[in-house]
Structure 1
Amino acid sequence: MKRVVLTVEQTVKIRDEIAAYLAKYNISINQFAVISGIHSGTLSRVMKGQQALAMNHLIRVTHAMGLAEDYFYSMYVDECLYDSAPTWRRLRPFLLQCAALMRMDCIERIVQNLLDNLLYVPLLFEVAEELFQQKNWQAASLIYENVGASEKYQHSERLALCKYRLFLISLGDDPHSNLIAATLFEGYVGKLDEVNQLDALKQLAHTFGALHKWDKVGELAEELLRLASLQYELHKGTDRTHNNEQGHVRPLYGYILYAHLLRAHVLEECGDYKSALEIVPMYMDYSWIREEDEEAQRTIAQFQEWGTANNYLYRLMDGQIEVLGEYVEYISTCENEIFTALFKIVQSANRYNWDVDHILKRFADYIPYRQYSSVFGKRNKLILNDNYAQFRSELATYYLARRRYTGDKVIMQGVGLSAKIDSEHNVIRGTISVDFEINISDIAKLG
């Protein structure tokens, strides 16, 4: 059925609704002013059409009338946009309220109307940023998309930041969707401001890493190293840090160290363990870092831990079984490293036909992986999920090679997780090897 669009004169105003309510319950304006907590003079002017209804007054009126909080929102959009010239003092709090109550229809109408006037672009962008900080992803996305569309021919920093925020918001459990999101965003990285550019490169590296696109991760790591090093030198003598999208402070030297870590990880994934070992000292060396504060000490300590663990790890994966005992004792004191170590130990055991039953028994409680944090925040969920799926597959292979049926349950659970995250490699590997199930908790009983 065709919708009838009323003119402003035909549209029922909020004040008409209030008047009908007062008449129905025989309440005077002064009495309603007391009930609602609005000054009687203000309420009188609103009822006469001499004063616009402010957002805080709308909230009070709605509550006093016993109506749903967003009952008047569609009407309020009309009054804000058409009854008088739009004023940001009314629209900004209304947008935030609409976001809180998930009234995307109202947000979209306001945003699309306001963007006809480019003066509102930076104001709307600021609201989107506020909503992003509040993790109100749906409302933030809607505004970012519209602001980005209004600036698509400007190639501006604001456009790039809109694209970056939309990329972050869109990341989820579907690898194919993440690949599309990363590919669409990648071209905007160079237009981002310094504050976000380094984080964007790191986020892209994580996304492509979860998809096993190591050539791309290598390129991003090199660019991260180049830009972070350049910025660190440019800001020599100043206390220069970056605020990321969640407001955390990250030092520039941390990105330099992290870029080296990524470079080594790419070589590890490509099986070049000797070259990976050569890069480890690059992120363990902190002699060039000028800062000496607590943050610097914490960051340095984190990379020292990673470097020590990876020094053992790369030698182990290169077939040097003599370091296995030292590696196990080291990671036993570093809870954040235990799951990764178990994964790589089992992978190496399969490659070189080692017996590591005693290690699996010792760390059985760590096999259901946990979420860990570092100086760079929580580890990437997709990478962890992918590693866990691979670990299940490697663990099943290990037990099946020793003719232990326990492996079948392990690999079936691995296939289940792989199917959930759509990891084609692990699903295929799992389904080839398995026909039945036994509980993974039996691992603790083996050895």
Structure 2
Amino acid sequence: MIHTTTIRSELDIYLKKTGLTINQFAEQSKINSGTLSTIINGKRPIAMQQLDRIVSAMGLPEGSYYELYADECFAYPLNWRRLKPFLFRCAELDKLELIQRVIRYMTDNLTYVPLLFDAAEELFNQGKNTAAAIIYEAVAESEKYQHSERLALCHYRLFTISLNQDQELNLRAATKFEGFVERLDEVDQLDALKDLANTYLSLRQWDKVDEMAEEMGKKATIQYNLIFNQTSRFDKDLHKKPKRPLFLYIIYSYLLRSAVCDEQGDYEQALSYVSLYSDLSWVREDSEEALRLKQEFAMLAEINTCLYQLMMGQVEVLPQYINYIELREAEILPALIKIVQAANTYNIDIDNILEKFESQISALAVKQADIGTYTDQVTADRYTRFLSGLSLYYLRNQRYDIGINTLLNSLVSAMEIHNERSILYCVKMFEKFRDVTSIEAKYRYKILISEVPM
């Protein structure tokens, strides 16, 4: 709806009320008096910077008259040089409804779709994800019947922006985006597959993790051979570069697939994948990041060799495994999950290990940080799994009070990330040990269960 009030009429009222001349106000607003006169007389549209100066000189809050400015933008022929700064200022001031209003009007003209997409990319790179998402949604809607790379990129960005601690929403986002991966540029596909694999990893969708990892490894290997095969005429200087060194996508696929085998209890196959990223003599990249990654994966290979041997029952490697991970902050949580699992499987006493890492465990309870290779939702899910495994360790050893308390903490963590599988596990375990549960714990459980969405 077009307002009858205009910025010019508001400015005119202000000048009359204050008794200021155009020259005086021009001095206050740092706008040329001639320019200001033509603006007031309606002979020239107001630029974004000029509006902000006018608002400031009038002593009004930032963002005042933006609704009126949107009306005035559409009163003249559309001008991207005016509209783009307006969108960015709205993003800075969190005026999201105005962005939606402007975008709805602009997408009626499909010639503006590429410009809007580029603006969304700029906002995304600046970390203004909410504003960027509004534009991506509009661009995707405008091109929903196209099979364009731009459409796929919009869905990729929306997938990335939507990831959070809610596992149900993450699953929906991953499922929605997966069908657009093949429409992306070949290089962008690598990052998309990596992000999807990490998301499915946090959701413990192991078949999907393996599928995404295998596809990522294949695509990365093809590109690697094209670029680094000396007999090829492929011009690597003109080739689009991935975000990370290309070899990383190959060896990360091996790391993910070994994790799948680990989860399935196939430790022999897991060790075979470890061997594929333990020898990196074939890697041609020699950047500082590449050298760092090679060293990191060489160490990961040693750590995971120890891990899978431990999971096969070779308990004697446990001290060596502890030595490997105690100085590697990113590996402590996943290592503790596996140590607890091994303890529950082979009846190992790990009290001294839990005591050794007591401070790190307490820190995780306070803040589940985004650490290491994996994303935040992976870490949150791992913490939930650690608590549930630890509760079983205590309960199996008839230490019921601490076991039940740890189980309820796991339930809280599972509820925070909306992990239905973990919630059901906690409920099942609590009911199994209800007879040895204190009155206080039963009351806490009752309160928690009442908060579980049905």
How many aligned residue pairs are there? 423
Amino acid at match of 2:312: D
User: Aligned letter for 1:70?
Assistant: G
Residue number in structure 1 paired with 2:381? 386
Give the conservation status (yes or no) of the 8 Å contact 1:99–1:139.
yes
Q: Which AA in structure 2 matches 1:13? A: T
Distance 2:316 2:309 in 1: 9
Q: Return the offset for 1:325.
A: 2.0
2:424 alignment partner in structure 1: 428
Who is 1:281 aligned against?
275
Match of 1:67 among 39, 60, 80: 60
**Secondary structure in 1 aligned to 2:157?**
helix
> Which residue is equivalent to 1:23?
16
The answer as to 2:168 corresponding to 1:191 is no
Q: Distance in 2 between matches of 1:65 and 1:51?
A: 20
1:139 counterpart = 2:131 = yes
What does residue 338 of structure 2 align with? 344
Q: How far apart in 2 are the matches of 1:305 and 1:176?
A: 34
Q: Tell me which of 205, 209, 228 is aligned to 1:217.
A: 209
Say which SS state the counterpart of residue 71 (structure 1) adopts. coil
1:11-68 residue CA offsets vs partner (Å, 9 max, x unmatched): 3321111111111111111111011110001001111111111111100101111122
Contact 2:255/2:274 (<8 A) preserved: yes
- The aligned counterpart of 1:331 is 325
Match of 2:403 among 396, 407, 427: 407
Tell me the distance in 1 between the aligned counterparts of 2:353 and 2:308.
18
Q: In the aligned structure 1, how far is the partner of 2:153 from the partner of 2:301?
A: 33
Within 2, Cα distance between the matches of 1:317 and 1:239? Answer: 45
Root mean square deviation of aligned Cα: 1.9
Whole-angstrom CA distance in 1 between matches of 2:165 and 2:371:
19
Output the amino acid matched with 2:377.
L
The residue aligned with 2:447 is none
Is the Cα–Cα contact under 8 Å of residues 242 and 250 in structure 1 kept in the other structure? no
2:393 is aligned to 398
**Is the counterpart of residue 80 in structure 1 residue 112 in structure 2?**
no
Matches within 5 A, 1:31-70: 31-70=24-63
What one-letter code is carried by the residue in structure 2 that aligns with 1:76? Y
Letter in 1 for 2:324: Y
What amino acid does structure 2 have at the position aligned with 1:323?
V
1:123 pairs, out of 100, 103, 115, with 115
Alpha-carbon distance change, 149 to 316 in structure 1, aligned in 2, over 3 angstroms: same
Cα deviation, 1:302-356, whole Å, max 9, x if unaligned, reads 1112111111111111111121122122222433222222211111110111122
CA distance in 1, matches of 2:251, 2:286: 16
In 2: Cα distance, 1:87 partner to 1:289 partner: 50
Q: Equivalents in 2 of 1:150, 1:127: separation in Å?
A: 15
Q: Which residue of 1 aligns with 2:244?
A: 250
Q: 1:373 to 1:175 in 2, by over 3 A?
A: closer
1:363 maps to 357
* Structure 2 Cα separation of the partners of residues 51 and 289 of structure 1: 61
For the residue of structure 2 that corresponds to 1:153, the secondary structure is coil
Deviation of 1:395 after TM superposition, in Å, equals: 1.1
- Residue by residue, what CA displacement relative to the aligned partner does 1:396-421 show, whole Å, maximum 9, x if unpaired? 11112112232222222112112222
Name the amino acid aligned to 2:181: V
1:280-317 deviations in Å (ceiling 9; x for gaps): 01112211111222211101011112111111111111
Comparing both chains, which one has the higher relative contact order based on Cα–Cα distances under 8 Å and sequence gaps of 6 or more?
2
Change (3 A) 1:151 1:288: same
Residue 297 of structure 2, aligned match among 271, 278, 303: 303
Shift of 1:256: 0.7
**Aligned residues of 2:90 and 2:98 also touching (Cα < 8 A):** yes
State the shift of 1:239 in Å: 6.2
Shift of 1:220: 0.5
Post-superposition offset of 1:210: 1.4
In structure 1, list runs of 5 or more residues that go unmatched: 439-447
* Shift, 1:241, TM fit: 8.8
**Alpha-carbon distance, 1:243 to partner:** 6.6
Q: 1:166 to 1:53 in 2, by over 3 A?
A: same
Given the superposition, is the C-alpha separation of residues 128 and 53 from structure 1 closer, same or farther in structure 2, using an over 3 Å criterion? Answer: same
Deviations 1:62-104 (A, max 9, x none): 111112222211111111112x211111111110001111212
The answer on 1:182 being equivalent to 2:180 is no
Q: Is the 8 A contact 1:208 1:217 kept in 2?
A: yes
Instruction: Measure the CA separation in 2 of the matches of 1:179 and 1:256.
Output: 25
Question: So what's the TM-score if we normalise by structure 1?
Answer: 0.90
Secondary structure (helix, strand or coil) at the match of 1:289 reads coil
Unaligned runs of 5+ in 2: 231-235, 442-454
Conserved? CA contact 2:168–2:419, under 8 Å? no
